[in-house]
Amino acid sequence: MLCQVFEGAQNLLEIGVGTGRVALPLARRGFQVSGTEISPHMVERLNAKLQADSEAASRVHTRLIDLSEEQNAADLYDLRSDGAYVSLGSMCCISDDDDLLMMLRQVRTLVPEGGRLAIEAYSPLYFRTHVPDNGLTTMLPLDQGGQARTVTNLVDGGRAAELRTTITHGAEASKAGTMTEKVTLRGPQEYSALLKRAGWNVLVWDEEDGERGLYWILADAAAASGPDERGTWTSL
C-alpha cells in the first residue's frame, strides 16, 4: 500500500521507526528509509535486525530524535525526504496537541511541495465500540517468536486508551516486564485540523467503521489547502 502511495519516491522518512516492521520491507523494495525514534531500546533491536539483513542494512538509517520538540533546522538536514509516513499509531503517543503540531510542522519542512505524508492512527470508534469496562485482552505473535499479551482499557473518559503489554514467552520474555503505553484517540477530523494548521493539504482518509482498530490519513505538502475528501484508502 505504501509503495503505491509513494510511487516514484526514492527517500522516505518514518516517524517512530521502532524495530523496523515497516522500514525493512520498504528497504527491500528499493526505498531509502530514514527513521526517527525516541527509544534507544527500539533502535538497538532494529540494528540487530539490520546486522542480519544485508539487503536492507544499506538503505535504513536511524536517528534518535524527538520531532515533537523544536529542533535546529541544521540538525534535520539529513532527514529531508520525498515523503513521510507514521505507522501503527506512533503519533497517538503524543498527548498534547501543541507537541503534535510541532512535529507535523517540522516534518513539513523536510518534505518538498507535492510530497506526501501518510498517517496510520488508532480509531476512537473501534476502541469505544470494542473495549468493555473491564478491559480487552489480546494475544499477538512476535516476529522473534513468542507472544505478547496486551490488556487495553479506556481512560480519560474515552479520550485515550492505556495498553499494558507483557511478553508471555519467547526470546524476549526474560528481557522485558510489563510495558504500559497511553495513546490519545483522535478522529480523522481532529488530525485534519492539525494537519492544515501545520501546512499540509488533507487528501483523503479512511472512514471509521468501528471494525478496524487503525485508519489512515493521507496529506500532501501543497502550497494551499484544498477541500477534504472522505473516502477509503482504495479510492487513491
* Digit-coded pLDDT (tens) for 139-170: 888 766 678 889 999 999 999 999 998 887 65
- Give, for 25, the enclosing helix (H) or strand (E): helix 23-28
Cα angle for residues 12, 48, 57 (degrees, 5° grid): 40
77 CB contacts (<8 Å, ≥6 apart)? none
Query: Each residue of 193-216: b (16+ CB within 10 Å) or e?
Result: ebbeebbbbbbbbbebeeeeeebb
Given a cut of 60, is residue 234 above it in pLDDT? no
Burial zone of 145 (CB within 10 Å; 0-12 exposed, 13-18 middle, 19+ buried): exposed
The pTM of the full predicted model, rounded to 2 decimals, is: 0.86
The pLDDT assigned to 171 comes to: 53
Residue-wise pLDDT tens digits, 82-112: 999 999 878 899 999 999 999 999 999 999 9
CA–CA separation, 120 vs 206, rounded Å? 10
Query: Average per-residue pLDDT in the chain?
Result: 88
CA–CA separation, 220 vs 175, rounded Å? 40
Closest among 181, 152, 157 to 92, alpha carbons compared: 181
Strand, coil or helix: 121: strand
Question: Which CATH code for domain 2-123+186-235?
Answer: 3.40.50.150
The pLDDT assigned to 235 comes to: 39
> What ranges in 58-200 are assigned the alpha helix state H?
97-110, 124-130, 188-197
Residue-wise pLDDT tens digits, 6-53: 999 999 999 999 999 999 999 999 999 999 999 999 999 999 999 999
Taking the CA of residue 182 as centre, how many other CA atoms within 13 Å lie in the half-sphere pointing to its CB? 9
CA–CA separation, 178 vs 159, rounded Å? 23
